[in-house]
Each structure stands twice: as C-alpha cells, then as structure tokens.
Amino acid sequence: MNKIKRTEIFTRWRDANPKPTTELQYSNSFELLIAVILSAQATDVSVNKATDKLYPVANTPEAILELGVNGLKQYIKTIGLFNSKAENVIKTCRILIEKHDSQVPDNREALEALPGVGRKTANVVLNTAFRQVAMAVDTHIFRVSNRTGIAPGKNVLEVERKLLKFIPAEFLLDAHHWLILHGRYTCIARKPRCCSCLIEDLCEYNKKTET
C-alpha cells in the first residue's frame, strides 16, 4: 500500500469521526490507567460496568489502596482475571503513592515498571491521557493493519513500528483510535462488514480474496 492510499484511508476516518477516543470511561489519567489494566483480555463494556461502581467509591491511589485486594475484588469480580488484576492494581497504587507522588507518570519506562502495565497499556496511557504519539497494537489493530495492508507484520511490535513509520504524520496522534474502532465495529474477525466499510475500495483484503 502506498502513501496516497494510506492518506485517503485516514482522511475518510477523520472526516467520519474527527475526535476519536477510547470507549473506556474515565475522568483523569489515574482512572484511565486502572481501566486499561482491567481491560486486558476483557471488553471495554465489562470494564466500564465495574468502574462505574468502583470510581464513585475509590478513584485515587490512596482510596483504592485502602480497599485492599479483597475489597477491590468485590468491584471487579465480573471482569476476567480479576484476582491477578486486583493484585496488580493494589501494587500499582502503592508504587504511584511512594514513587510518583500519586501521579501517573508520563513516560514509558516508569509506566512499564508498574505491575500489570506492559507496552500496550503504556501506549494507551501515553496516547490517550498525555496525547503523545504512541500505537497500542491489540488484536483489532493487528488484524486491521494486516488485512487492509496498511501495515502488515508478523507480530505486534513489527506492526507497531510499521504503523508509526507509514501513517502520515497528521494522523498519528489519533490513528490508534480509528484503527481500533474500525476493527471493533467494521473489520471484525470472522466476517468483516465490507459492504458498510468506508475504505472498501482502498483495502487490500478484497484483492487478496479475488486472486
């Protein structure tokens, strides 16, 4: 795929959704961090249902730490892997209090040092909370990048690097959100909804299936 096609793809997505953002509900960088930690192998819908009850009670590192692991579990037990996530969130809250003055750090190294925070989670926080150029490649973005031909790669890191390299600079800040929304609602895994796709004529997928 060439630059002209990529530019047109992201232009169409931007025209349709000028200010894309995460579907996780949050009001500050700490709430976003916790929501993203909880969202691993879980849907945003399930996380939002849990945090809708949790955040009115505890939405600071101190308040969640005071709940303790067992107290936190009562709010997140409907989310997959809630036992390990509760442990990680409590440990993360303690580190934020002790090392970061209860603030979410705005750099990758410090974020990835937090329990339950890997590269993808760090990228989401850097991009969404701090508006830094970062590409969090999940299953949706990996699929869309390969299927469309925007940035094909054999693993998530390769796709991440290609996306950062090939996406025109004017779209980079919001590209993560457009890609994930496209994968979540249009370019779905089993039966992509090509008939309702904004970029069907630019996508490499139909060309592959025709040959």
Residues with catalytic annotation? Answer: 120, 138
Please give the backbone phi and psi of residue 42, each rounded to the nearest 5 degrees, phi first. -145, 160
- Tell me if 197 is assigned to a ligand binding site: yes
Tell whether 195 is in a known binding site: no
Look at residues 153, 171, 169, 173 and name the one whose alpha carbon lies nearest to residue 161: 153
Contact status, residue 114 vs residue 125, Cβ threshold 8 Å: no
Residue found by looking up tokens 């959100």 in the block? 177
CB neighbourhood size of 16 (10 A): 12
Which tokens in the block code for residue 129?
A: 């909370």
CA gap 51, 64 in Å, rounded: 12
User: 93 among the known binding-site residues?
Assistant: no
| Residue 200, burial from CB neighbour count under 10 angstroms (0-12, 13-18, 19+) | middle
Residue 83 and residue 191: Cα distance in Å, rounded?
34
CB 64 within 8 A of CB 24: no
**How far is Cα 95 from Cα 154, in angstroms, rounded to an integer?**
35
CA dihedral 24, 109, 174, 85 (to 10 degrees): -20
Residue set of the binding site for [4Fe-4S] cluster = 187, 194, 197, 203
Residue set of the binding site = 187, 194, 197, 203
